[in-house]
Amino acid sequence: MNVKKVAGIIAVTLLLTGVVSYAVYSMLTFHSVENNVKCHDLIVTIDKEVSLMNEDEVHVLLREQELHPIGKSLPDLRTEQIERFLRKHPYVKTVRCYHDPTGQVFLNLTLRTPLFVVMGNENYYVDKEGKYLPVKPGVTAYVPVLTGRVTKSMLKDELYDMVSYIGNHEFWNAQIQQIHVREDSKIELVPHVGDALILLGTTENYELKLDRLLRLYQQAFNVMGWNTYRQLDLRFENQIVATRNKEARK
């Protein structure tokens, strides 16, 4: 065999051996360093419109499940398990957990946003995706309240669409504090401002009914006063039947 070829083969072999040895050494060194690095901080960030959960509660939940990462070495961190656990929480929409080489663990949560709250035989929030969320004691979400004869089956039809419309409408979300479903399934709206109970009737053409009422508010109530009427009936086509307060007649 040609001497130059033999020398070339030996050189390549030595080079490959060196590369492999360095790679093995680097892996062992990195693994050793990684084993010695422990989590020293858990940084929780929560993206939310309504404060259904705070950072302290997340720490408590992880400790209760023995999933809190502080004090654990990097190979022992169970970031995927943390994600799976928190993803099951009714308030959590998305979750991402990861760490850096220094031992910091980052936990990013996005919470669901209640659109309205149902108060009756069962109390629960309904979010913007139609999911049911448990009501949390001590937490107030400033969203429309739905009361009366409300069932979850009713929330799958136009009732949900109507309440969503009110919750997403700048004026009506600020003006309507309660949506009440009577025993006959007719709907009443209780305003924040003014004394007038609003009789909506059914959900049929609810947008047209509310648009008519909005024009009345804008054109008449700012002149006549918001307490002139005790009842506004929207159940009739193309008209609003208004019943005046006794005091307003004087």
pLDDT in tens, 141-189: 778 899 998 888 778 777 888 988 998 888 998 889 899 999 888 999 9
Tell how many helices (H) and how many strands (E) occur in the chain: 8, 12
Residue 57 has pLDDT above 70, yes or no: yes
Residue 207 has pLDDT above 60, yes or no: yes
Tokens found for residue 185: 């399934």
Q: Which of 8-12, 33-37, 209-213, 216-220 has the lowest mean pLDDT?
A: 8-12
Contact 244, 228 (CB under 8 A): yes
Residues of the chain within CATH 3.40.50.11690 domain(s) are 114-249
Decide: helix, strand or coil at residue 231: strand
Contact 192, 176 (CB under 8 A): yes
Residue 14 has pLDDT above 80, yes or no: no
Residue 47 has pLDDT above 80, yes or no: yes
Which position has the higher pLDDT, 213 or 34?
Answer: 213
Predicted pLDDT of residue 29: 42
Residue 33 has pLDDT above 50, yes or no: no
Predicted pLDDT of residue 17: 62
Tokens found for residue 141: 């979400």
Strongest mean pLDDT among 12-21, 25-34, 174-183, 191-200: 174-183
Q: Which of 6-15, 51-60, 169-178 has the lowest mean pLDDT?
A: 6-15
Reference 83, options 97, 64, 103; nearest CA is 97
Partner residues linked to 110 by β-bridges:
47, 94
Which position has the higher pLDDT, 91 or 36?
Answer: 91
Fold of 114-249: Rossmann fold (3.40.50)
Tokens found for residue 96: 């991402």
Residue 12 has pLDDT above 80, yes or no: no
Q: Could you tell me if residue 112 is left (phi over 0), alpha (psi between -120 and 50 degrees) or otherwise beta?
A: beta
Predicted pLDDT of residue 199: 94
Residue 60 has pLDDT above 50, yes or no: yes
Average pLDDT, the chain: 82
Q: For the domain covering 41-111, report its CATH number.
A: 3.10.20.310
Answer whether 0.75 is exceeded by the pTM: no
Residues of the chain within CATH 3.10.20.310 domain(s) are 41-111
Contact 226, 248 (CB under 8 A): no
Tokens found for residue 10: 């030996």
Alpha carbons within 13 angstroms on the beta-carbon side of residue 15 total 6
Q: How many residues does the chain have?
A: 250
